Amino acid sequence: MLQIRDLSVSFGRRRAVDGVSFDVEEGEFFLVIGESGSGKSLTGGAILGLNPSGSTRTGSIRFKGREMLELPERELRHLRGDQIGIVYQNPLSAMNPVIRVGDQIAESIIVHGKGSGRAAATRAIELLERVHIPDPARVAQAFPHEISGGMRQRAMIAMALACGPSLLIADEPTTALDVTIKAQILELFAELRRERSLTIILITHDMGVVTQLADRVLVMYAGKVAEVGPVETIMNQPAHPYTKALMLSGAMSDAPFKSVLQVIPGSAPTLDARPLGCRFNPRCAYAQDDCRATMPSLRPIAGSLAACHHPLVGFRHSELVA
């Protein structure tokens, strides 16, 4: 369904996303994971051409066989919201504060010509009901600040689903939600996927998400793919030391990603200060001379693809738990 090849997103000469390639299959629940600044959100945005002004995309993104990078803005606009829905984090600021929730959902239907006025409004209420919002008619009349955080996130999802897209990109949809709400939202994703055979790309830094739902996982570090593979493989046999570190923090169930930083000394490099060789090398316990000299490329290692000169072998997730 989606083939991404050698995608780069650059700000001037600086590449925030640097040669990322991956495929997403129809009906798949695909997870993109990485620290903030790893380029994961930019990758998600790049699919729809929604990156910040001043950035340029190179490479190739093919959605259902169409080259997205070559589509003019007008046609991209037709795809957005219609065929591909997107859900953002922090719905309080991601929703327009001065427009009623129902109208914001209906807008998607109206701009894509799938109904107007009353019909769109009725559909908005149905959608709210669909995402399990109690009293959807009242919520439709409410402004975003008048409803709870969890409801806002549900409303955001309803908005993304309004035109019945086949692909849903969810960019950190559970950040800033408390644990129970988070679980409910994730359950909603799973349910939607089941019932509508929706393809979902979930972008997160939240390891807790991984284990529960995803089919495959893509780990990003400093603009590069560190590792990509089926969720079980990655979970149980991470090849990349960075993935391992993520797993370590992820193993502590729902602990925030911040703890990764505690597991791995140092911090992710900024856009301007990327090290030579493997970008993870300054923080990597296994780093050797070649790691500091040449950049590793993705290669198959034990069921997944990893970009590492010295992949971890024989590491079992279960050992960690033990």
Partner 1 sequence: MTVFLLRRVGWAILVLFVVATLTFVLSHVVPADPAAFLAGQNATADTVARIRAEYGLDQPLLIQYLSYLRGLLHGDFGISLRTGRPVSEDLASFLPATLELLFFSFAIYVATSLFLAIIAAKRPGGRLDSGIRLFTMLGSGMPVFWLGMALQFLFFYKLGLLPLGGRFPLRAIAPPTVTGFLLVDTLLAGQPGAFLSALSCLILPSAAIVLNLLAVGTRMSRAALISESGKQYVRTARGKGVGPRRILYRHVLRNAMTPILASTSIQFGYMISWVILVEVIFDWPGIGLYAYQSFQVFDYAPVVALALVSTAVFSIINVLLDILYPIIDPRMRSLRA
Sites of contact with partner 1 (CB under 8 A): 48, 50, 77-82, 85-86, 88, 90, 93-99, 107-108, 111-112, 143, 145-146, 156, 159-160, 162
d(CA 169, CA 225): 18
**Dihedral over Cα of 131, 135, 139, 140: its sign:** positive
Placement of tokens 């309080």 in the chain: 92
d(CA 160, CA 156): 6
Q: Minimum Å distance from CB 251 to partner 1?
A: 32
Is 95 or 177 the residue whose CB approaches partner 1 more closely? 95
Query: In this structure, what are the phi and psi dihedrals at residue 61, rounded to the nearest 5 degrees?
Result: -125, 115
Contact 66, 118 (CB under 8 A): no
Q: Minimum Å distance from CB 6 to partner 1?
A: 24
Q: Minimum Å distance from CB 298 to partner 1?
A: 29
Is 93 or 212 the residue whose CB approaches partner 1 more closely? 93
Q: Minimum Å distance from CB 297 to partner 1?
A: 32
Q: Minimum Å distance from CB 79 to partner 1?
A: 7
What radius of gyration do the chain's Cα atoms show? 20
How far are the Cα atoms of 159, 161, 240, 306 from residue 229, in angstroms, in the given order?
A: 30, 27, 11, 8
Q: Minimum Å distance from CB 296 to partner 1?
A: 34
3-state helix vs strand vs coil in the chain, percent to 5: 40, 25, 35
The DSSP result for 229-269, as a single string, is: EEHHHHHH---SHHHHHHHHHHHSTT--THHHHHHSSS-PP
Q: Minimum Å distance from CB 112 to partner 1?
A: 6
Is 85 or 241 the residue whose CB approaches partner 1 more closely? 85
Is 161 or 214 the residue whose CB approaches partner 1 more closely? 161
> Order of strands across the sheet with 14-24?
14-24, 2-11, 55-63, 66-67
Q: What angle do CA 143, 149, 154 make, to 5 degrees?
A: 80
Residue 270 CA, chain-centre distance (Å), reads: 20
**CA neighbor of 113 nearest in space, from 77, 142, 88:** 77
**Dihedral over Cα of 165, 9, 90, 139: its sign:** negative
Is 75 or 290 the residue whose CB approaches partner 1 more closely? 75
Is 94 or 320 the residue whose CB approaches partner 1 more closely? 94
Is 98 or 285 the residue whose CB approaches partner 1 more closely? 98
Is 93 or 253 the residue whose CB approaches partner 1 more closely? 93
Q: Minimum Å distance from CB 262 to partner 1?
A: 29
Q: Minimum Å distance from CB 162 to partner 1?
A: 8
Is 204 or 281 the residue whose CB approaches partner 1 more closely? 204
Q: Bridge-partner residues for 17, per DSSP?
A: 9
